[in-house]
Structure 1
Amino acid sequence: MAMGHDAVFRLSLVWLAAVVVLVGLYTQSFKKMVATYLFGMFAICGVLLPDWEFFDRGVSQWCSPLQVEKMGSQSRSALRPTTPTRFRIYPIRMAVYTVVYGIALHKWWMFISN
């Protein structure tokens, strides 16, 4: 991860810790705190850790290795697009994230609210 990503990761972990403490205070349950921590870690890691350069291709190419082109005298930063690939909207990626995170959030909420 680059330095900017480290700061986002640290900030996400701080917010997760705050949410875990709030859930613990509200529910008075250690098991619900652990479930919240695990859910939060999977959610944070699912968004921040994947190799987006690999997945920033057509879905049909995901099973083939990533080809690194010869860069010659150009630096790697000059070849990167101005918009980070993490924030580009792709319909299939958004559908998968919406379904997976929606189901997980629903199950977490049902566990916490009971």
Structure 2
Amino acid sequence: MATDAALKTCLLWLAAVIAVVGLSTHSALKMLLTYILGVLGIAGVLLPDWDYFNRHFSRWPHPVTARERAALLPHPHASPFLRFASSPLRVTAYAAIYGYAIYRWWGYVSDSS
């Protein structure tokens, strides 16, 4: 349920960013590129089954058992960002990939030609 609310919120923010890009650049192509990159970025963060990937990599070929899923359930009052705390490598990879993508997107969108 929380993931659905996060997805809806992210898509609403993406729509606002697309509207700002469209109004400031008057370019349908830049709006389309913003939409595609935004949806791919949102999907990269919200769609993966983190319970599956948060296990040791030797267990990845096997389905998640009920016992493993129950052990991975977060505390009801826990922050949704705590899932990133267990993997600094994942945070570093996301920061590098998304940072570069946003840098390239901004360079393209802010180009006046």
Do Structure 1 and Structure 2 share a fold, with TM-score over 0.5? yes
Identity %: 40
Cα distance in 2 for residues equivalent to 1:32 and 1:110: 11
TM-score by length of structure 2 reads 0.80
Q: Which of 14, 17, 22 lines up with 1:16 in the alignment?
A: 14
Work out the CA distance in 2 between the residues paired with 1:57 and 1:85.
18
In the other structure, the counterpart of 1:39 is 37
- Residue 87 of structure 1 pairs with residue 85 of structure 2: no
CA change 1:22–1:62 in 2 (3 A) is farther
Alpha-carbon distance, 1:87 to partner: 2.7
Q: Any stretches of 5+ residues in structure 2 without a counterpart?
A: none
* Deviation larger for 98-107 or 18-27: 98-107
Number of aligned residues: 107
Aligned-residue CA RMSD (Å): 2.5
For structure 1, the 5+ residue unaligned runs are none
**Change in 2 beyond 3 A, CA 1:85/1:55:** farther
Q: What letter is aligned with 2:97?
A: V
Partners of 2:72 and 2:99 in 1: how far apart? 35
Aligned residue runs from structure 1 range 33-112, under 5 A = 33-58=31-56, 60-61=57-58, 63-69=60-66, 80-82=73-75, 83=78, 87-88=82-83, 89=85, 90-112=87-109
**1:29 CA displacement:** 0.5
TM-score where L is the length of structure 1: 0.79
Q: Cα offset for 1:99?
A: 1.3
Q: Specify which of 1, 4, 11 is matched with residue 2 of structure 2.
A: 4
